[in-house]
Amino acid sequence: MKNKFAIILIIILISAVLLFIGLRTRDNNKAVIVQYGKINQIVAATGKIEGANQAELSAKI
């Protein structure tokens, strides 16, 4: 469980860095925001998977 949490944290950090770079360079701003949106969707999806795994584990216990 800790590994999955670490992966999600890394993804969030990468997305924050991308957004920061996008704000620094105005030309690439739209592209970075699109990428940031995609990363957020991935994080949301992994969060849902995490939740399903939690539910399965608690059901087994």
Q: What is the pLDDT of residue 7?
A: 83
Cβ-count burial 42-51 (b if 16+ within 10 Å, e if not): ebeeeeeeee
Question: What does the longest C-alpha to C-alpha distance in the chain come to?
Answer: 53
Within a domain: 13: no
Within a domain: 5: no
Distance between CA atoms of residues 18 and 16, nearest Å? 5
Within a domain: 12: no
Within a domain: 6: no
Q: At what angle do helices 29-60 and 2-24 cross, to 10 degrees?
A: 170
The answer to whether 39 touches 10, Cβ cutoff 8 Å, is no
Within a domain: 52: yes
Question: Over the stretch 1-52, which tens digit does the pLDDT of each residue have?
Answer: 678 888 888 888 888 787 776 666 655 556 656 666 676 776 766 666 666 6
Number of domains present in the structure of the chain: 1
Q: What is the pLDDT of residue 6?
A: 83
Within a domain: 44: yes
